[in-house]
Amino acid sequence: MKRVIGYILTPIFYLIFGFILIVFHPIQVICYNLGGYSAHKRSVDIMNYLLIKTLIILGSRTKFVGFDQLPKNKPLIIIANHQSMFDIPPVVWGFRKHHAKFISKKELGKGIPSISYNLRKGGSVLIDRKNPKQAINEIKKLGDKIEENNYSALIFPEGTRSKNGQMRKFKAGGIHALLEKVPSAYIVPFVIDGHYKLQENGSFPLGIGNRLTYKVLPPFKAEGMNSEEVTAKTELLIREELNQE
């Protein structure tokens, strides 16, 4: 029965989700060109808040937990598990006071209304997965920006999303590059729980009636730890929260 309802609600969801992206593309352009970074960021924050609210169409309930424990005016390295293509809006909204930036594959930098523009203009970096040297250099540039402005950087160390919610092994490469440039950063383990259920059937129909939780675990400093140790500790914390071995 749920799947039948999904066939009905999914087109409505995609229509409204896509409408928001299309409407906010020119809004972003105007804000960026007339008001600079701050105005552009506000438009992106509002857009992502609305994108989260579209999940109500699918009967999903969202819950943000633990954001009050984030240190203020400090650079953050957000390390998260990756469950679906819908993971980004809650990150943007939840960490809006901390100016979250992303490490994205270069293919996302063009062709997608609002999203591509924000990646190019909002301070994130686009990497070529086939060119490790370019990728590391771009991540290091992002690290400099995070350190200088007390921003935050999000990294999905699994490399790709988990289609069934079971976490993949975390890779330390990107975390190592960031730590080299942002030694003063707080490490923020971030748990995304339930998003994989949205795409249990692929992109159509989407899952309905799910509880979606976005939880910040206690931040910690990486002092005295190398990147492999930071990666392993963060992976363990997120696995424990998700009750995965």
Tell me the C-alpha distance between 25 and 121, whole Å.
12
Residue 168, CB-side half-sphere exposure with 13 Å CA sphere: 13
Nearest 5°: the CA angle 175, 179, 183 is: 155
Q: What is the pTM of this model?
A: 0.93
Q: Looking at this protein, which amino acid is placed at residue 163?
A: K
Express each pLDDT in 90-148 by its tens digit.
Answer: 999 999 999 999 988 888 888 999 999 999 999 998 988 788 888 888 888 898 899 99
Specify the pLDDT at position 106: 86
How many residues in total does the chain contain? 245
- Selected residue with higher pLDDT from 3 and 49: 49
Tell me the C-alpha distance between 4 and 245, whole Å.
34
- Selected residue with higher pLDDT from 111 and 43: 43
The enclosing domain of 75 has a CATH number of 3.40.1130
Tell me the C-alpha distance between 226 and 168, whole Å.
21
Tell me phi and psi for residue 116, to 5 degrees.
-60, -40
Residue 18 — very low, low, confident or very high, per pLDDT cuts 50/70/90?
Answer: very high
Domain of 58 in residue numbering reads as 2-241
Indicate whether 161 pLDDT > 90.
Answer: no
Tell me phi and psi for residue 186, to 5 degrees.
-90, 135
Indicate whether 20 pLDDT > 80.
Answer: yes
Specify the pLDDT at position 120: 94
Q: What share of the chain is helix, strand, coil (3-state, %, to 5)?
A: 50, 15, 30
Express each pLDDT in 162-212 by its tens digit.
Answer: 778 888 999 988 899 899 888 889 999 999 999 999 988 888 999 999 999
Tell me the C-alpha distance between 144 and 121, whole Å.
17
Domains of the chain: total: 1
Query: Measuring CA to CA, which residue among 94, 80, 2, 24 is closest to residue 52?
Result: 94
